[in-house]
Every structure is written in structure tokens, then in C-alpha cells.
Structure 1
Amino acid sequence: MKRFAISSIGLAAVMAATMGTAYADNHTREQLRIVGSSTVFPFSSYVAEELGTTTEWPTPVVESTGSGGGMKLFCEGNGMDTPDITNASRRMKVSEFKRCQENGVTDITEAMVGYDGIAFAQSTTNDPIALTREQIAMALLEKVPQDGELVENPYTKWSEIDSSLPNREIRVYGPPTTSGTRDAFEELVLEAVTEDMDIYGGEGYTNIRKDGAYIDAGENDNLIVQKLENDTEAFGIFGYSFLEENADKISGASIDGVKPKPEAIGSGEYPVSRSLWFYIKNSHAEEVPAMADYVKLFMSDKMISDLGYLKGIGLIPMPEELLNEWQEKVADRVELKLSDLK
């Protein structure tokens, strides 16, 4: 499987110079700027490469900043030094929408592009493993129940949580707090496990331990894959597309009895599944005319349908009826409302 990687190293300086000149000359910018989710990055990069190859527009710049980092940049304002589109591996938060509004970014269109599962993976040198969300939560939560009280997490090995699990040290490489994958993992695993436990007050508890068992590995999911090759006793958390691309090196744990497979992710049977998105800054439509063609291409059957190219690199397509609904919304540039996010 081929991954199109558009490096963000040094791009900030180049883009600043390029955008500044273009804006000073004619208040337009030919090159589209996209930021956001590391999970959506390979899909967005593929579309960007296709746009650059098949149209008159230069290949857009795509930067992997994390969903939260991308939202922050996107919501800074309407100036030509701000991104035109931000990718996200979870839906925009109410707080982010309000920040956009406060900074004058009031005309936003939301686009759903498909589904992804969060893999909890290990090196293929290990035997296949089946885990429950509760076991994963007990391994990673900052505080866990013991003898009727919440205590600092004492577990150092998986076998201490359940004797049927391997006698391996608990060590998990995962995304940072700016990542949509981290947000989704906390909601779908940690919060889902703890929200009905009286000891946590009947509310979801998502604090991850800070004693070294969980290792913040940054926004580069490929780096986590590389770490699992070298640290064969560790686990890693990242999007399904990275698992599929590296199936010869890493394998995903089944979670609550379900393996991370496209059919299970698309149906919601796999319990750690989420939707993938991008957000369009409509105020840039005239100044950045390439945006219209990029958005049209991304939302096309050619890219995100069941027969689309992006399925080949790990995107889980939407059902046809839902796909048509989102294609229409995006084509009409339906404005995102606060009520849509509640």
C-alpha cells in the first residue's frame, strides 16, 4: 500500500513567504493549506497529490498537526495566513466551534468522509491477543478501584490485571492530548468503561497515568509502528489504516471479542470505531479557488465510495445513502450550526 507523505518540515516558512507574496499581489492564494488529524492525513494527502497531478492547481500543503492542533490553527481567524481546511478524526467540539465564532470564522462546512477504527496493536512476534476495554482501561487509567477505593494505578504487568494475560510489562505508545485519536480512545474505551462504575461517581473518568506506562509518541503514527518493531513487548494506539498498511509487522488485538476488520468497523460492531471529518473555511473560497476542486474531489465517489481509491489505503466507506447525504451537504456548503454538535 502506498502512502503519500507531504512533509511539514520547513513548510511553515515556505508557506508564509508564498502566501504573503500572493496575498500582497492579488489577494489570492493558489496553494491550498490543510492541517489537522494524523489519521486523516494519508487520505487527505492522497487527494492532494491527485489534485496536483490532474488539475492546474499546485499540490496542496497537508500538515499533520493533530485534530486539536488543527482546530486551533483553523479557528485563529480568516486571514490568508490561516488554514483553509482542517482534518479531524473526531467531530468538532462545541468549545472549538465557539472559539471559531469568536475569531470571526463563522461560515464553516462540515464534511464526513468515512470511518476508522482505533487499533490496539503489537508486534507480530507475539501471539495474538484478545483484550477487553475494561482490561485496557485498568492498564492505563491514572486511578483504579482496589478494595472499594480509588488508588494510584499499581499495575506494572498485564498479568496483574488478569492472570490470563501475558506476563509483560505495561507499556503503551499512544497519541498526545492534541490528537483526535486520543480523544476518541478516551471516550470509547476509558469513559465507556468507567461511566457506569459507582466508584467513579457515575461519570466517565479518562485521566491517563503519567508514570511511564503510557508514552506520548507524538502525532506521527508511523513512528509508533516503528517503535513496536523494536519494543516487541509494547502496545501502540493508532488508526486502522496504519495497521492495515503494516500488517506484516504488527497485529491488532481483538477488543471485546471483535477483531479490527473493515466490516466490523463500518458496522460499529468493533467497539472502538469513529467517524472521520474535515472542515471547510468558506470565507476563503474566493481567495483560494483551488479549495472548491479539492473538496469536490475528496467527496467524490472516485475517492470515498465503496469502490473509491481511499478504501485501498484504509478508509472504511460510508453506506451509499449516507454518502449521498454528505455529498449533497458539502456541495451545497451547508453552514455548520452549534446545534449540529450537541
Structure 2
Amino acid sequence: MKRVLYCALALAMVLTIGLGTASARDQIRIVGSSTVFPFASYVAEEFGATTDYPTPVIESTGSGGGMKLFSQGVGLDTPDISNASRQIKVSEFKRCQENGVEDIVQVVIGYDGIAIAHNIDNPELALTREELTLAVAAEVPQDGKLVKNPYTHWDQINGDLPNREILVYGPPTSSGTRDAFEELVMEAASEDIDGYGGEYTKIRQDGVYVPAGENDNLIVQKLDKNTEALGIFGYSFLEENSDRIQGALIDGVAPKPAAISSGEYPVSRSLFFYVKKAHLGEVDGMEEYVDLFLSEKMIGDMGYLKGIGLIPLPKEEREAQRANWENRNNLQLSDIQ
């Protein structure tokens, strides 16, 4: 499926200030995660093609960037929905509340794994979370203290690893994938590495880890050209480009749908979107869009989104998400883990 980034010009044409009437803006405006973007785009295109509503406008801003826009307030100059590849943060929730975005519905759409990918022509690569952390951390423990990361090749970290340059193309700080990588890889590993003394998530800035923006397809293109490099992005991009790239084993587990949904793959996470309830009834089609997204047709075991890389929730969890949406249950601070 083509990932179509709707142009900023179209966005500017439909935005007006204030809630006013529904006719002030007749397109749903969605921002947020680059990982959720292909799934939301598929639903948006289907929504535009099968209903009388216009196709929603979607921006891939990253989870953090999307939530920053979403939390600015209530009004048609702000987004209606924000996609996220991790749960909303407490600080983001509080900023929403402070700015009048008091009623929010949280929706979980499925699971995703963070793939550590490289060129398909390379030999299979198996890494641990500890090795990944030592490769990308700004500092590493040596002789009882933390020093600037000296590692330039993988075999310097572990002699069993290949003599390949450490070069990692990954998400920027605005990305939920970056947040999840720091939590699921670096936080988890650094607690078990002698010398860190607890959680460590500071990523090196000496050119070894290269923030590659919010367009994960650009990382895939870089892995095509540089066979030594690794890329970090959501499983769906690995699935869609399996003829060009392969996923490294992490702690001995390959990024496969069954391992991701079971949690066996250690870098697995849930995917979300957040709905601004104050805009329901003000922007035509919002409720119908969410209904379509949560349908079995989209997120079910045989749904369209599974075909492009979404790992479905178990049936009972899908039903619980639909019930939560149908009841328009407000997200509470206590719900944030």
C-alpha cells in the first residue's frame, strides 16, 4: 500500500479557528505516530472511498509531535485525533487538561514490534538488548565509571559479533518508537549491566546513531545502500519490505507476529490513538471513522490491517476496546501506566 502523506497545503485549506459549525472544517484532522500512520492512512482511504465523508487529512508528526499539537486546546485549529506508538505520557495528559482538552477517549488498535533491521543480503544477525544498549548509549561503563562510548564496531562489544561498523538509523526524539526503544531496550538492559546503577537511556550523538526523521521508508532506503547499517522502526515496515531487509533476532527471538502478540519478542508494544471528545459532532464523520477503524474488517484476525503489518489484539481485547469507545469512556490519569 502506498503511504500517502497528505500535503500541508490541503491541511491549511481546511483549518479554521474555533469550533463554530461543522461546516467550518469538513475533514477529520489526524496527527501523530509514523508507525500508526500506514494503518490510519489505509482506514482513511477506505473511509473516503466507501462513505459520503471526505478522506481525513493525516500528518506523520511522531507520537510526541502529534500529542503536542493535540494538547494545544479545543477548536478546529487543533487536531481531532492523535495516533501514538506508545501510551500518552502523564505530562502530556496534564497538558491536555490544562489547555481544556479534558475529555479524551484512548483506543488501542493492536500490537507492534520494534524491528532492528538490516540488508537482506547480510548473514543473520542476533543481538541482545545489552549489546544494543552498549552500541547506542552515549556512555558505557569502564573501570567502574561511565565514559564516552568508544565502540565503533560490533565485535568490540562482543567478539562473537561481526566486524561491522556500528551505524544505526533510528527515530528522532519526537517519535513514540524512540520512546519505546529507550524503555524496552535501554531501560531494561541498563539495569542488568554493571556500572550503570539503574536505568540509562541517553543515546550517543557522535554520528553513530543517526536520527532519520519520521519517514521510516527513508531508513529502508538507507539500508538498501549501506549493508553495514541497522535501522529501527515498526514491524509493519519490515513486513512490507521483506524483499529488501531482514530483522535481527533480539535476545534470541525473531520479530514475527506470533512472538510479538505473545510478548515473547522482547521489543513489543501496543499501538494507540486518542480522540478529542469535544470535536465529536463538530467535525462530521469522526464517530464513523473510529467505528470503521475498530471494525473486524480492519483490526480483526483476518482484517485488512493485518495484511500490512498490524498484529491483532485477542478477540476479547478487541471487544473491550469497542465497548470502551461505544461508551465514550474518558481516559483517567490512573489509566496511564
TM-score (norm 2): 0.97
CA positional deviation for 1:192: 0.2
Q: Does 1:149 align with 2:145?
A: yes
Partner of 1:180: 176
SS at match of 1:14: helix
Partner of 2:222: 227
1:24 CA displacement: 6.7
Q: Which amino acid aligns with 2:143?
A: D
For the 8 Å contact 2:112–2:311, the answer to whether it is kept is yes
- 2:307 is aligned with 1:312: yes
Which stretches of structure 1, 4 residues or longer, exceed 4 Å deviation after superposition?
Answer: 21-28
Partner of 2:327: 332
CA–CA separation in structure 2 for the residues paired with 1:205 and 1:193 = 9
Q: Pairwise mapping of residues 217-256 of structure 1 onto structure 2 (< 5 A)?
A: 217-256=212-251
Whichever residue aligns with residue 110 of structure 1, its letter is: Q
Q: Output one character per residue of 1:136-180: Cα deviation in whole Å (capped at 9) or x when no partner.
A: 111011111112221111101001111111111110000000000
Equivalent residue of 2:195, what SS? helix
CA deviation string 1:115-148 (max 9, x = no partner): 0000001001211111111111110111111122
How high is the sequence identity, in percent, across the aligned residues? 63
SS at match of 1:20: coil
Q: Structure 1 residues 16-25 or 178-187, which shifts more?
A: 16-25
1:259 aligns with 2:257: no
Matched residue type, 2:284: P
Partner SS, residue 163 of structure 2: coil
- Distance (Å, rounded) in 1 between the aligned partners of 2:210 and 2:135: 13
Query: Could you report, residue by residue, the CA deviation over 1:25-57 in whole angstroms, capped at 9, with x for unpaired residues?
Result: 766422100000000000000000010000000
Would you say how many aligned residue pairs link Structure 1 and Structure 2? 337
What residue is the counterpart of 2:208 in the other structure? 213
> Residue 323 of structure 1 aligns to a residue in which SS?
helix
1:170 to 160, 163, 166: 166
Query: What is aligned with 1:106?
Result: 102
Post-superposition shift, 1:196?
A: 3.9
Correspondence for 1:132: 128
Aligned-partner SS, 1:334: coil
1:196/1:204 contact within 8 Å kept: no
Alignment partner of 1:204 out of 192, 199, 203: 199
8 A Cα contact 2:18 2:77, kept in partner: no
d(CA) in 2 for partners of 1:131, 1:119: 12
The partner residue of 1:269 within 264, 271, 285 is: 264
Among 296, 300, 322, the residue aligned to 2:295: 300
Deviation at 1:232, TM superposition (A): 1.1
Q: Which amino acid aligns with 1:132?
A: T
CA RMSD of aligned residues (A): 1.5
CA shift, 1:252, in A, is 0.3
Whether contact under 8 Å (2:17, 2:75) holds in the other structure is: no
Amino acid at match of 1:103: N
Counterpart residue type for residue 327 of structure 1: R
1:332–1:28 distance in 2 versus 1, CA, 3 Å: farther
Letter in 1 for 2:47: L
**Where in structure 1 are there 5+ consecutive unaligned residues?**
none
